[in-house]
Amino acid sequence: MQVRQQIFEILIHMLLLFTAVPVHECAHALTADRLGDPTPRAQGRITLNPFAHLTLWGSLLLIFAGFGWGKPVSVNARNFKNPKRDMALTALAGPVSNLIMAYLSMVIYKVLASGAVLSGMSEGAREITGYVGIIFLMSTYINVGLAVFNFLPVPPLDGSKIFNSILPDRFYWKIMQYERYIIIAVIILLYSGLLSRPLAVCQSAVISCMNFLTGWVDMILPIG
């Protein structure tokens, strides 16, 4: 039973990989485009086609660890009116899009799990609804996990671009010289568990906040 559950979870992670990551990367591309940089549009990144956004390591980590990343969206900051501010806004758009998806997923999960929805269903329909509810519940966790992970202030993650918007340029470019080594260190820390636990604590705090913000659903449709 435990093996079947693990396989089911991996399949859901794979399903969410084709939704959460494309939305995240498309949000970056669309924001950059709206702020005046045509680079993402020219490279075909304003799309929800998952194959335009996925990377091998980021996808594997998302499937097996619940945290990951997509193919970075190329941005030319010289096209922005205010390069530092607009680069930070472009970076912020990705995690925010995942938090919005997480919120909507939790709302749908609570609706599907409510007594008002389940009461009139047959046993088979309840079982199917239960599985669909699990998918949306895991969508909440995966999207929150993506947002939390990408807020880390290390390159090439979004948090570094947000954080570096307040740093002098010379410090920013010095940090970026070690981008490849930093992300390798992050992967090692994830697999060793040293980083997974702090991320899980942050993820749990955001989930609790989501639960509070969707409390209106609980009042309207109590859980069945």
| 214 confidence band (pLDDT: 50, 70, 90) | very high
Q: What percent of the chain has pLDDT over 90?
A: 39
pLDDT at 20 over 60: yes
Catalytic sites, residue numbers? 25
Distance CA 197, CA 180 (A): 23
Average pLDDT, the chain: 85
For 78-111, b/e burial (b = at least 16 CB within 10 A) is: eebeebbebbbbbbbbbbbbbbebbbebbbbbbb
- Taking CA atoms, 48 is separated from 99, 117, 136, 150, 151, in Å, by 17, 31, 19, 19, 22
Give the per-residue pLDDT at 102.
Answer: 97
pLDDT in tens, 160-174: 888 877 766 666 666
pLDDT in tens, 33-83: 999 999 999 999 999 999 899 888 888 877 877 666 788 899 998 999 998
